[in-house]
Amino acid sequence: MKNKGSEWRKWDLHLHTPSSYDYSDKSTTNEHIIEVLKDNNISVVAITDHHTIDVERILKLQELAKSDITILPGIEFCADARGEDPIHFIGIFPESDRNRLEYIKTEILSKSNINKQIQDKRNENEIYCDLESTIKVIKELGGIVTIHAGRKSNSIENITNSLPVKMAQKKDIAEIIDIFELGKVNDQEDYREHVFPSIKKIFPMIICSDNHDIKSYTLKQNCWIKADPTFEGLKQIIYEPEERVRIQESNPEYDFDKPTFSKISITQPLEVFNGEKVKFDKTELPLNKNLVTIIGGRGTGKSLLLNYIANTFKKPILAYQNKDKPIQFNESEHFVVEWQKSNAPKPEIITFEAKKKGDLDLIFIEQGKLKNISNYRVLADEIKILLKIEKLQFDEKLDNEIKELLDDIKKLKEWFEYKNEKGEKVNDRKFNENKKQEAENLLKTITTEDNKKKLEIYTSNIKTINNCENILTSLNDIKNSLAKFQADTNNTINNINSDIEKEINDLSIPKIDFENQTNAIKNIEEKMTTIVKDKKGRNNEIKKEFEERGYKGDLETLLSSAEKYQKNIQNAEVKLKEIEEKEKQLKAKIQQRNNLSEKLKVEYERQKNVIRNAWNNLLDNFSDEQRKVISNVLGKRGISIEGEIYFNLKAFNEKLKEYLDLRTYKNLSEGIGINSLDGYWHFINSTLQNFIEGKEKESTKKDLENLFFNLQERKDYLYVVSKIKFLNKTLDQLSVGQKGTLYLLLQLATNTFSSPLIFDQPEDDLDNEFITTELVGLFKELKKYRQIIISTHNANFVVTADAEQVIVAKNKDEILTYSSGSLENSEINESVCRILEGGKDAFEKRRNKYNF
């Protein structure tokens, strides 16, 4: 029983053979019939000859078809409609051996009065039977009934004046018919619109060949049935008339492209946990692409299998036995998961071994997770993931900008506080003003009326020389900076151009060239050098003039002292100018820091808007059909999501204790005027500076700016969360169960058309009413668009949701085995009834669903 369960196959449930009186070519062989059916990829065919069941022919056809085609025995009748147009209908019976077929044939022909009409040599085209009594016999013999809608004079041709209108007036007849056979494809809408609402019953609709000459075998349209190729499989379309049958050209299997798990292979028995007895037996489980359910008693390994599958990939798993400890699996190369990248006849396959953690986009909801998602921030973060904005975080560029700004302020402050080896604050304004004044005073002490004029010229030249030499040094620095920048930038441009050339041949970024700047610097250097040379020459002349005039003092010391004092004056002036510039820079940087409140607000508003837009635009990238499915998932539940900037005052106060002197500020945030988010922004803008550079600095234990501007500190009390409403209640008003339900609905809606969903025992976390009235229906809808694999002990997920595949888990002496099949499989059917809560009731409700 290692099969995928219910799959789409092409069926023809109305085919004649030469055993029918009106068959065109009586010489047609059984071999030719089978050959043509195989050529047309027919999986199941019902032999429906007029007024007879040719036992020998059916047995022969079954022998020839082998396992390729299922041959179902059937018979076509014509019912006397009491003066109205006669009604053609068909009885189809289960696969049977010779004895059972002979019995069915005898019973149906005698009790329908056909035998007597044949014995009376009545014309075949005038043989009639009673509709209700004959259908009763068909049902007693285990068969089902289809109303024939071919293109004969006695068939359904016009929706306004033929059988459907009559059927609508004869609900008692409609109740005993199982299937409608359409004459043409566009009849479907007429039936749905006119007939079914009138008779209060929904029928499965099929279309068949009604072929009377296999040489001209054609199908009006392909009829696809999702079921085992058996009579029991056919019965499923009665219980699921809208889900299990399609009339269309292509196989419905490929209507929607979705990635799926295609197979689980356990290549040899393996221990599930290291050093423990429980083992997976060697097995191979092909998986259906739609709804796969795993059932079994307690300890049979149904949840264990799902957890092991999920553990094959890089997904966090919480142990369902003990939520505080992760499962420690024996990750073996003998457990292999096969992944089908697309839903195509010949898809690309990837295999993953449990020993090698694979990367795969899947959704795994472990047992108990929905109950555990109760923390506001945890659920809000989960919803970010669902909205595909899990990477939403504080802007890295802005954070670096803040860090650079604070670092600049710190460096500027350190610059002002720098001390030389003598312990002097050489960058202090007062220190340099004193140095300038001292040098000016000393210069006066050596200046007399006699030497004043020459000393003034001499010191002025010294000043010019110093200025020019400083400029020459700066020019050299600029030249080096330009050369380095040019080399680095052009190297980057070369790399980018190489990438551009791969896509565009005739476009590139021009290289940069500082030739104009370099030439200008060279010209300035030449002139500056000339000025220095001239001024030095003039000072030499002044020195000679002093000598020629017979200066009586120590000329060398005089001029040396004058030069020294002038340099000191000049250096002090340069330093004071630098200090003034640094003071302006520091003041501007501090103002920028104060203004960070606005930048922070804008950034948090951006994050808030990203969440809002992600929710509002959830449906934008989907087709109309997909939007409808998502709307069905969300329903009219009052779900809304928007971003919210959350200021956690309690967490802020806890951190504030580390920074403030509690002897001064016993009321913490209230004491410094912060009791709301607005107060927080205002404090940064207007008051924080006073605690960093002002009089309140003495009341802090650590740099308070760190609390506000360090992201790692700030993220614990200020962050953007998803503000969620469900059933028109805010998150804090929801019960644990409602939070779990909300999470599940969002999970289903936001990942509807992509990732497979693996869900371990959803009934443990959800209300039974929600399961029966909503979730089962959602699963039936969503399985068309994504693979759903669940373990469960609730029959609603298996029977009512019409699972395509049921995997039965068993544990014998700690050896875990798994068998697989469809709901119509008798052994699976029995297991469902035996194992699952309400299994028999679920089947009964399913059978009666469309009989109001």
Q: How confident is the model at residue 81 (pLDDT cuts 50, 70, 90)?
A: low
pLDDT at 162 over 50: no
pLDDT at 264 over 90: yes
Q: Are residue 243 and residue 287 in the same domain, yes or no?
A: no
pLDDT tens across 778-787, in order? 899 889 889 9
**Do the domain assignments include residue 341?**
yes
Q: Which of 254, 269, 286 represents a domain boundary (last residue)?
A: 254
Q: Are residue 78 and residue 156 in the same domain, yes or no?
A: yes
Q: Are residue 222 and residue 294 in the same domain, yes or no?
A: no
Q: Say what the pLDDT of residue 151 is.
A: 41
Q: Say what the pLDDT of residue 157 is.
A: 36
Q: Say what the pLDDT of residue 170 is.
A: 56
pLDDT tens across 279-308, in order? 999 999 999 999 999 999 988 999 999 999
Q: Which residue's entry shows tokens 């967490």? A: 651
Question: Could you give the 3-state DSSP secondary structure of residue 559?
Answer: helix
CATH code of residue 238 = 3.20.20.140
Q: Say what the pLDDT of residue 490 is.
A: 95
Q: Identify residue 472 by its one-letter amino acid code.
A: L
Percentage of residues of the chain with pLDDT beyond 90: 54
Q: Which of 207, 226, 254 represents a domain boundary (last residue)?
A: 254
Runs of H (alpha helix) within 312-428 = 369-372, 376-386, 396-417
Q: Say what the pLDDT of residue 159 is.
A: 36
pLDDT at 164 over 50: no
Q: Are residue 227 and residue 298 in the same domain, yes or no?
A: no
Residue-number span of the structural domain to which 54 is assigned: 8-254
| Cα 834 from Cα 806, distance rounded (Å) | 14
pLDDT tens across 623-680, in order? 787 788 888 888 777 888 888 999 999 999 889 888 887 776 655 566 678 889 999 9
**Do the domain assignments include residue 384?**
no
Give CA separation, 752 vs 74, 351, 362, 533, 733, in Å: 42, 24, 12, 83, 27
- Token couple for 722: 């998803």
**Do the domain assignments include residue 503?**
no
Given CA atoms 371, 374, 375, 376 in this order, what sign does their dihedral have? positive
Least Cα distance to 528 among 465, 460, 463 occurs for 465
Q: Are 804 and 288 in contact (CB under 8 A)?
A: yes
Q: Say what the pLDDT of residue 630 is.
A: 82
**Residues 6+ away with beta carbon under 8 Å from 804:** 4, 5, 6, 7, 226, 288, 289, 290, 291, 292, 783, 822
Q: Say what the pLDDT of residue 365 is.
A: 87
B/e letters for 194-217, b = 16+ CB within 10 Å, e = fewer, are bbbeebebbbbbbbbbbbbebeeb
**Do the domain assignments include residue 57?**
yes
Give me the chain's average pLDDT, please.
87
| Cα 362 from Cα 378, distance rounded (Å) | 20
CATH code of residue 839 = 3.40.50.300
Q: Are residue 86 and residue 194 in the same domain, yes or no?
A: yes
Q: Which of 254, 288, 322 represents a domain boundary (last residue)?
A: 254
Q: Are residue 12 and residue 155 in the same domain, yes or no?
A: yes
**Do the domain assignments include residue 284?**
yes
Structurally, the chain folds into a number of domains equal to 2
Q: Are residue 292 and residue 202 in the same domain, yes or no?
A: no
Q: Are residue 98 and residue 26 in the same domain, yes or no?
A: yes
pLDDT at 739 over 90: no
pLDDT tens across 777-813, in order? 889 988 988 999 999 999 999 999 999 999 999 999 9
Q: Are residue 217 and residue 286 in the same domain, yes or no?
A: no
Query: What number is the average pLDDT over the span 202-230?
Result: 93
* pTM score: 0.76
pLDDT tens across 420-435, in order? 999 999 999 999 999 9
Query: What number is the average pLDDT over the span 117-129?
Result: 89
| Cα 275 from Cα 457, distance rounded (Å) | 98
**Do the domain assignments include residue 722?**
no
**Do the domain assignments include residue 41?**
yes
Q: Are 286 and 349 in contact (CB under 8 A)?
A: no
Q: Are strands 757-760 and 788-791 parallel, antiparallel or unpaired?
A: parallel
Question: Could you give the 3-state DSSP secondary structure of residue 63?
Answer: helix
Q: What are φ and ψ of residue 493, in 5° steps?
A: -60, -40
| Cα 121 from Cα 209, distance rounded (Å) | 29
- Higher-confidence position of 184 and 160: 184
**Do the domain assignments include residue 198?**
yes
| Cα 473 from Cα 456, distance rounded (Å) | 26
Q: Are residue 292 and residue 337 in the same domain, yes or no?
A: yes
pLDDT at 83 over 80: no
Q: Are residue 126 and residue 249 in the same domain, yes or no?
A: yes
Q: How confident is the model at residue 135 (pLDDT cuts 50, 70, 90)?
A: very high
Q: Say what the pLDDT of residue 632 is.
A: 80
Q: Are residue 93 and residue 185 in the same domain, yes or no?
A: yes
